[in-house]
Structure 1
Amino acid sequence: MLFILLGVAFAVTGGTCEAQWLEVTAQEGSPAVLPCDVSDSPATHYVAFQWIKKDSRSESTVCRREKSGLVYRGSGLGHRSHCPGTQSGDYSLHIDAVREEDAGQYVCSVQAPRQGRRSQPATRMVMLRVMKVSFSRPEAIEGDSLEVNCIVTPGYIVKMDYRWKLNGLEYQTGNAYHRSSFKIRRVSQSDRGDWTCRVSYKGKEAEATQFLRVKGVEHPPNDKALVYAAIGSDNTTLPCVFSEGLTPNATWSRLSKGSSSSSSSSSSSTSFYKLASSSRRHLPPPLPLSFTHPPLSSSSPWDQSARLQRVEVGDEGSYVCSGRVESRQVQRELELVTARVLSSPSTKRTPLTLTCQLSNDREVTKYEWVRVTYDNNSVATVIPVGKNKTLKLTEDEMGEWVCRYYGERGLLGNITHHVHLMGGLESGRPEEQSSSRGALVIGCGLFVLLVLLIALQIYRNRQRRKMILPYPALENIVHTLANERERRERCGINVKKSSGPVEDQA
């Protein structure tokens, strides 16, 4: 202890080895190295050194090596650190995992013999500051208030500049950007992730990072999330995944049919559902018939996602998944967006027009049409053909067509439409149209003539019956003679015609 005090006094009075104040800032829980490099000292070989920690009232030995080579370690920090020492003059102190109580002043004193006389000890003084990011609650719940703090121990004397980042991006709310602490009034899943505090002091920077977990619905992370599905698609998932380890016993309900932000090209059925919803606001619409609730017995009870076995027209709209997390009710609203392809005849030269229609297209930034063809080995070939919402086809462009729609987060979904050959027979070239129209006129004329002939025959039969009905006896004789004549002709008997008996009977 005496040679340490002598070394410090010698350095202050301007001795050969001047004491240097070094700043070391380390994040809590991370390793730290307190430098003690005396390679520039005139001593040629160091045989003894010591690290002590100085407090306001006392000082304690961290580690010490004697001339004999024996190494002593103090209690507490000594068991979490090591000071190997080298003949090259590096006697740094290595701390495995820094704690807040490790912050403070450290003194490294190294003594080496000189030829013929005892040399003065070389001294290094290091200030260790421990930095950490802390939260008022270790785990926040959606909707709670939370305080975020950046703590440096011991604190700097001068004013420091604080910078905050969340998941690597600059975070700023009001004047909290340059403050050591601020408050989040309502925590959401967007606040989940790595919070980094960066401190600037005398041209140097240090930072600390801490992960914040927010209990609640992690997927989708925010309300008003859009789920895309094509009309007629099977097993569409409505996601509702809570934080792992929770058992929220979530319930599903439906807020509305249709979309409040649908484009002007929305179908008439969607407008009908909007009108029906507005006229019966006190009664929420029922869930679709193909809606399937999450199973009660599941290996992942925090996954409360629901499914639609088959998406039909009218299933679009807002759905709500809600569950209890500890003492707070947490819910997530999402919207099912349905997509379909509408086909309609267009001009003479374009027999068919395809339109890619979504019940809500606020996220859509572009459309893309592709044609899918197959070879003899059923290998598909995709050919891009257009980037508009509508696509005009000619009579030889039948087959499978796919409409893809994109947003800022990439491909949102697609819908497949098959155009059959029958759809292209409505129109063609002008000469083909005129010939088909002529054939159609001739066919219609023959059909009308046939109908007129049948009607004329029916009329003549009715007139004949009217003439015969007043004479029933004559009608019986005529029928009898006709039947007898037919019988004789079949038997090959020649009968001579005689009208006498007939006149007598009449």
Structure 2
Amino acid sequence: MSLECFIFILITFLMTGVQCEVTEVFAEAGSTAVLPCKYSPTSNVSPGVIWSKADKGTVWRMEKSGLQMWGVSWSQKGIQRVRCPHTQFERGVYSLQIHGVTEEDGGVYSCRVKQGGPVEETVVMLRIITVSISPSVPLSGRDVSLTCQVTPGFDGSAAVQWMLNDSRFSRETRVTSPGDTFKSIVKEKASARLTGNWTCVVGYRGKEGRASATLTVTGIIQPPSDDTKVYAAVGCAVTLPCVFSSGLFPSSPLWEKLQPGSLNKQAPSRSAPSFSPSSPSSQLPWDKSISLKEVDLKDAGKYRCSGTIQGQRLAQNIQLVVAKIDSSVPSKKKGSVMLTCKVSDTSEVTEYEWVRVTYDLNGTEAFGSIHKGKTPSISLLSEESWGTWACRFSGKDGILGNITHHVPMMSGLSGPKSSSFSQNTTAVVGLSVLLVALLLILAQMYKNHRRKQGIFQYPAMETIIHTVANERDEREKHRVKVLP
């Protein structure tokens, strides 16, 4: 506390007929500070009220006549920064409001009220809290400082706690008290985990104040954290994200596939030839993502995306996790199939679920009952088992991915449906035989008809045939008569 403020408070204690008590008030820079002043009126006559600051004299005053006046230094462009709401005067409340407070507004204020008897005075210590970030928008990997400054400082010890996104930040901080200020400083390497809202909470003599600032770190913003896992099913498309902050133009961008078991060693080859830039025609200059149309098991592994910004090499690691379904027929259980959901990295997988997916005429999906476990047994003889099955694998934060498998239709059914199927088969076979017989009869009739048509086309030959036949009949008759 400055010597001037100390003398101001001391004088108020020594003044005859004045009762003084210091009230602590905290306010964030740029906000509205409310300095309390309450008086118990003894009559209906309006009292005289004077608000003053230790180093600036009169701030606001009201005569007994009701005339109000403001100090010269408390207006900006004709607009008064301080006011006492007159709607509360009748209740004896003369609290001072200061809009858009700054560090210079911090200090000791006095509210003096007189209505004929002893002067009643309230002394208020206004402390301004400011949170600043340097540099204001740091680049990932570079030093960043967050400073919580309280003006004026404290005579004794004060409690300070930093919060990041409403969670306590437990790292060690440095506290200094240069001059008439108090500072708590956090120094870190800028990274994505530090982005968000930082709040400094200060406690002193039973009162608490707080101020906040938002930290934005530029660099690679997607994926949001290092070693992020991307899940994909065999045969499906996948995109490995690598997006820099808007407006950053990375030079020498590079994708590398890392050797198994190491995040620092590079594989002999660069990114797999099958990968290509994601939507190159519409891709922004700061988007260096790559995509693959069909994922294969060999594509699983760890990748690194990097680029140079302002002379600094930024990199982020991504792990591609590939899932597939294996099917096998158990030797001891005919008419069924075992489906196994395989994931190349199960470190985040806590549960497997199998569900049958059906579609109506409009193509709307419907889900059947859920089977738990990594390897369920599916009956091939039941109609309820035909179609598409989906394996969903989940982690502690929800579903990680899914993959589907088609179970084909079998020639037979089990249970009460088999008899009806046999009857239908017999009827079909009978109808087929009858149809074949009818076709044969029609073919024979057509053949005879064609044969007759062929004879009628030669009438002379028909006459000769009839003549020969008649002569043969006559000879037979004559031979019969000659015999004794």
| Partners of 1:315 and 1:326 in 2: CA distance | 32
Question: CA separation of 1:103/1:369 partners in 2, compared to 1, >3 Å: closer, same or farther?
Answer: same
- Give the one of 386, 400, 405 matched to 2:388: 400
Partner of 1:421: 409
- Give the one of 235, 243, 246 matched to 1:244: 246
- Give the one of 221, 229, 233 matched to 1:230: 233
Contact 1:161/1:178 (8 A) holds in 2? no
CA drift at 1:293: 4.4
Equivalent runs, 1:310-325 vs 2, <5 Å:
310-325=294-309
User: Does 1:147 pair with 2:145?
Assistant: yes
Specify the SS of the correspondent of 2:93. coil
Contact 1:288/1:315 (8 A) holds in 2? no
- Give the one of 367, 392, 395 matched to 1:382: 367
- Give the one of 150, 153, 156 matched to 2:154: 156
| Partners of 2:226 and 2:302 in 1: CA distance | 11
CA drift at 1:327: 3.6
| Partners of 1:7 and 1:381 in 2: CA distance | 77
Specify the SS of the correspondent of 1:139. coil
Contact 1:251/1:322 (8 A) holds in 2? yes
| Partners of 1:60 and 1:101 in 2: CA distance | 14
**Mean CA deviation greater in 18-27 or 203-212:** 203-212
Contact 1:105/1:128 (8 A) holds in 2? yes
Question: CA separation of 1:9/1:329 partners in 2, compared to 1, >3 Å: closer, same or farther?
Answer: closer
Deviations 1:290-337 (A, max 9, x none): 422463765x54343332233233222222222233342212111111
- Give the one of 84, 107, 110 matched to 1:104: 107
| Partners of 1:384 and 1:253 in 2: CA distance | 43
- Give the one of 62, 82, 96 matched to 1:65: 62
Corresponding pairs, count: 392
| Partners of 1:10 and 1:96 in 2: CA distance | 26
Equivalent runs, 1:207-226 vs 2, <5 Å:
207-226=210-229
Deviations 1:217-268 (A, max 9, x none): 122222110111111223x2222222233333572412237x649xxxxxxx
Partner of 1:44: 44
CA drift at 1:101: 1.2
Specify the SS of the correspondent of 1:284. strand
Partner of 1:461: none
Partner of 1:124: 122
| Partners of 2:175 and 2:62 in 1: CA distance | 45
* Equivalent position amino acid for 2:246 in 1: E
Question: CA separation of 1:63/1:8 partners in 2, compared to 1, >3 Å: closer, same or farther?
Answer: farther
Question: CA separation of 1:172/1:220 partners in 2, compared to 1, >3 Å: closer, same or farther?
Answer: same
**Structure 2-normalised TM-score?**
0.72
| Partners of 2:202 and 2:352 in 1: CA distance | 47
| Partners of 2:309 and 2:48 in 1: CA distance | 60
CA drift at 1:76: 4.2
Which runs of 5 or more structure 2 residues have no equivalent in the other structure? 1-6, 177-182, 416-484
Deviations 1:195-226 (A, max 9, x none): 12222222332222221111111222221101
- Give the one of 255, 258, 263 matched to 1:256: 258
**Structure 1-normalised TM-score?**
0.69
Which runs of 5 or more structure 1 residues have no equivalent in the other structure? 262-277, 430-506
CA drift at 1:185: 4.2
CA drift at 1:43: 4.5
Partner of 2:425: none
* Equivalent position amino acid for 2:404 in 1: T
**Mean CA deviation greater in 246-255 or 190-199:** 246-255
**Mean CA deviation greater in 87-96 or 40-49:** 40-49
Deviations 1:95-153 (A, max 9, x none): 122211110011122333x4xxxx44432211000112223322221111223322211
* Equivalent position amino acid for 2:81 in 1: R
Contact 1:252/1:319 (8 A) holds in 2? no
Partner of 1:302: 286
Specify the SS of the correspondent of 1:421. coil
CA drift at 1:34: 0.6
Contact 1:219/1:239 (8 A) holds in 2? yes
| Partners of 1:313 and 1:126 in 2: CA distance | 71
Partner of 1:434: none
Specify the SS of the correspondent of 1:310. coil
* Equivalent position amino acid for 2:93 in 1: D
- Give the one of 349, 357, 377 matched to 1:364: 349
Partner of 1:446: none
Specify the SS of the correspondent of 1:87. helix
Question: CA separation of 1:62/1:303 partners in 2, compared to 1, >3 Å: closer, same or farther?
Answer: farther
What percent identity do the matched residue pairs reach? 37
* Equivalent position amino acid for 1:232 in 2: G
* Equivalent position amino acid for 2:239 in 1: T
| Partners of 2:304 and 2:407 in 1: CA distance | 37
| Partners of 1:6 and 1:41 in 2: CA distance | 26
Partner of 1:201: 204
Deviations 1:12-40 (A, max 9, x none): 4562x6222111011112211011111x2
User: Does 1:81 pair with 2:82?
Assistant: yes
User: Does 1:347 pair with 2:331?
Assistant: yes
| Partners of 1:288 and 1:75 in 2: CA distance | 73
| Partners of 1:91 and 1:392 in 2: CA distance | 79
Deviations 1:163-187 (A, max 9, x none): 22111111112x4499963544422
Specify the SS of the correspondent of 1:314. helix
| Partners of 1:146 and 1:6 in 2: CA distance | 39
User: Does 1:189 pair with 2:195?
Assistant: no
| Partners of 2:376 and 2:73 in 1: CA distance | 76
Specify the SS of the correspondent of 2:298. coil
* Equivalent position amino acid for 1:66 in 2: E
* Equivalent position amino acid for 1:342 in 2: D
| Partners of 1:99 and 1:415 in 2: CA distance | 59
CA drift at 1:417: 0.9
Question: CA separation of 1:301/1:83 partners in 2, compared to 1, >3 Å: closer, same or farther?
Answer: farther
| Partners of 1:62 and 1:176 in 2: CA distance | 37
- Give the one of 155, 169, 172 matched to 1:171: 169
Contact 1:8/1:123 (8 A) holds in 2? no
Specify the SS of the correspondent of 2:216. strand
| Partners of 2:376 and 2:270 in 1: CA distance | 35
